[in-house]
Structure 1
């Protein structure tokens, strides 16, 4: 059953009780990476294997993941080409109370350093789960960014 989360701002990324941070350098420049993140929302399902559908809504984004997780989100920051942050407003993930995800893009030679931060709060079992899930989430992030880089490189 879906439930509404506590509304938090972009600063929650820095002070959340649970933070998972993942970084990867890719060959694609920041501008096309930012456009893929912020402007081609339906494209997420093509490069992020956990995403089954992603679509813009009047108030933000709607994301569905493999396994049935659903998210209604509000974009908090879309500052091209370096920062894209959104907040989960409604989800069916049990125990979640507040959630933001931040994508920071920085030039790295001719490519991009992509840093993705999950900022989370929830019930005690929810907070204890995420550090255990870090390796799997990190693997999913690595694979997704590798696939995005491959697609953007082949499109150019």
Structure 2
């Protein structure tokens, strides 16, 4: 059953009870990486493994995301500051125990490529918070695999 989460702003990624941050360097420059994140939302299904559906909603101010396993999110874009920051919060989800969720993608030049920093910020019930902390290694691999796939996509 879907439920509405507490609306949070960009600062939540710094203050959330659970903050999971991961970094990976992409070969592509920041501009094409940013375009893949913020402008080609449907393209997420091609490079971000867990995503089975991604589409902009509300004229691009929001997103609908579906993951393998059936988790769904309706999101509001909080920042799209090319080519440095893309951030969004989850407004509605069917993930049990979630109370507030936000993600931030921060892009910085790294030689000829891009340092991609993905911060996953969350609040929820104690079991939800514990499950997220336990999922840290899986989320880290997810980012590694996503950046590798995005590099291939952008190079092709």
* TM class, shorter-length: over 0.9
User: RMSD across aligned C-alpha pairs, in angstroms?
Assistant: 0.6
Aligned residues: 154
**How does the TM-score come out when normalised to structure 2?**
0.97
Residue 151, structure 1, aligned to residue 148, structure 2: no
**How does the TM-score come out when normalised to structure 1?**
0.97
* Equivalence for 1:37: 37
Q: 1:78: Cα distance to partner?
A: 0.4
Q: 1:118 aligns with which of 117, 120, 125?
A: 120
* Equivalence for 1:8: 8
Distance in 2 of aligned mates of 1:83 and 1:139: 21
Distance in 2 of aligned mates of 1:26 and 1:61: 24
Q: 1:49: Cα distance to partner?
A: 1.2
Q: 1:67: Cα distance to partner?
A: 0.3
Residues 98-137 of structure 1: matches in 2 within 5 Å? 98-137=100-139
Which structure 1 segments of 5+ residues have no match? none
* Equivalence for 1:62: 64
* Equivalence for 2:21: 21
Q: 1:141: Cα distance to partner?
A: 1.1
Residues 77-116 of structure 1: matches in 2 within 5 Å? 77-116=79-118
Distance in 2 of aligned mates of 1:21 and 1:153: 26
* Equivalence for 1:49: 49
1:41-78: CA deviation from partner (whole Å, max 9, x where unpaired): 00000111100010000150000000000000000000
1:2-44: CA deviation from partner (whole Å, max 9, x where unpaired): 0000000000000000000000011100000000000000000
Distance in 2 of aligned mates of 1:139 and 1:28: 19
Distance in 2 of aligned mates of 1:47 and 1:35: 13
